[in-house]
Structure 1
Amino acid sequence: MTITLAIDTSTSRTSVAIIEDGSILWSGHRDGATEHGPALPSLVQEGIKGFAIDEVVVGMGPGPFTGLRVGIAFAQSFALARGILVRGVCSLDAIAAQVDEKDFIVTVDARRKEVYWARYKDGVRVGEPAVSFPADVSGAPIHPDLYPDMKALVALTGNIIEPMYLRRPDAVATADRK
């Protein structure tokens, strides 16, 4: 019996759940695209009371740089401090698990009037996630504005080790400016 701390900060929602063998023991979320930093430790502190966590699963995006960094750094630090496994998975795949269609696209807000998106056929992602303007995303029914299903996040088998940043950072080192 494995007790998992599940974390996702790839969307405007900070989501945390405690899951044991496919059953949610506790879950909570806070909305706010800039609230990941204060929301995440508060949610985890509330959620882990009385549980011995065996592993951490974290959504690796795609998502905005700061939100992803908060969730991934927290997950890695939490796991390192306890000497437990941390596993990263694609957040869009955890969203797609909620859709019951054969061919579809999921999108989430990428800000700057763009969306992060991926296409799925028979529940399997086709290609890599992308960032585009909404008008440029077509070819199948689109499911926008969903949040990752935390049970699905834990059930996914992937082990992504690098954040899925689909844009170059806004910040540029002084030496690299032209």
Structure 2
Amino acid sequence: MSISLAIDTSTSRTSVAIVDEGAILWHGFRDGGTAHGHALPALVAEALIAQGSIDKVVVGMGPGPYTGLRVGISFARSFALARGIEVIGLCSLDAIATQVRERNDFIIATDARRKEVYWAQYSNGARMTEPSVDFPADVALKGLPMFGEGALKYLLTADDEVQFPDVVALVEIAKNPDLHIQLPIYLRRPDAVPTSERTP
């Protein structure tokens, strides 16, 4: 038996789940692109009431906006360190792709703000490209079906059911060591930078 705490803050949704070998013991989320810092501790506190014993932490590593993504990753690492348990990082886009029924080539796109999207291409459920950040119109030129919050925001899909990472799926994805990643996928610098680093 291995009980996992799964966390993702790579999109405007903060998601948390506790999963025991495929059985969902607790699952919850809060929406709000700037609410991750408040939502995540509250969700985890609720989750731990249902199941206090955790064996490992699984966390979405992006791509995603810097501030929100950092909240989830920092929390996951601190939680795991305090309990002396393993933390596994995974690409958040993969946890959206698991929800797509399309079995041929398709694209997952999330909102990167600045009128851009984070995206990756998939084939038969497997990621074929590294995550990138581009303008929606440029990604649309590939002519493939698109899914995700970013695709919906920029009217590149009508599918509003597949938008956010499925944190329960993250636990399943974590079973493949080849998909584990160590570093956050930021893809660009944060929106807020020190005054000394700004271009005149």
Measured against the shorter chain, the TM-score band is over 0.9
The aligned residue for residue 96 of structure 1 is: 97
Q: TM-score, normalization: structure 1?
A: 0.95
Q: Does 1:159 align with 2:163?
A: no
Q: Is the alpha carbon distance of 1:177 and 1:148 closer, same or farther for their aligned partners in structure 2, counting shifts above 3 Å? A: closer
User: In 2, Cα distance between the equivalents of 1:173 and 1:39?
Assistant: 26
In 2, the alpha carbon distance for the partners of 1:117 and 1:142 equals 9
Counterparts of 1:5 and 1:176, CA distance in 2? 37
* 1:48 counterpart SS class: helix
Give the match for residue 110 of structure 1. 112
> What TM-score, normalized by structure 2, do the two folds share?
0.85
Amino acid in the other structure paired with 1:137: V
Q: Residue 141 of structure 1 is aligned with which of 145, 155, 159?
A: 145
Contact 1:23/1:151, CA 8 A, preserved across alignment: no
The 5 Å alignment of 1:23-42 reads 23-42=23-42
Q: 1:121 aligns with which of 120, 123, 126?
A: 123
1:76 is aligned to: 77
Q: Deviations over 1:109-164 (max 9, x none)?
A: 11111111111011111110111111111321011321111221111122211100
**Cα offset, 1:176, TM superposition:** 4.2
For 2:58, what is the secondary structure of its paired residue?
strand
Alpha-carbon distance between aligned partners in 2 of 1:48 and 1:121, rounded to the nearest angstrom: 37
Amino acid at match of 2:137: A
CA contact (8 A) 2:66 2:189 kept: no
Gaps in structure 2 of 5+ consecutive residues:
150-162
RMSD of aligned Cα (Å): 1.3
* Higher share of residues assigned strand: 1
Cα deviation, 1:18-57, whole Å, max 9, x if unaligned, reads 0010121100000000000000000000001243000000
State the 1:171 CA deviation: 3.9
2:110 is paired with a residue whose SS is strand
Aligned partner letter, 1:152 = A
Matched with 1:61 is 62
Q: How many residues align?
A: 178
1 CA distance for matches of 2:138 and 2:29?
31
Distance in structure 2 (CA, Å) of the matches to 1:129 and 1:38: 28
Separation of aligned partners in 2, 1:79 and 1:164:
20
Q: Name segments (4+ residues, structure 1) moved above 6 Å.
A: none
SS of the residue corresponding to residue 71 of structure 1 reads: helix
Q: CA deviation at 1:177?
A: 4.5
Separation in structure 2 between the aligned mates of residue 78 and residue 15 of structure 1, nearest angstrom: 16
The alignment-based identity, stated in percent, is 65
Counterpart amino acid of residue 161 in structure 1: Q
Where structure 1 has 5 or more consecutive residues not aligned to the other structure, the ranges are none
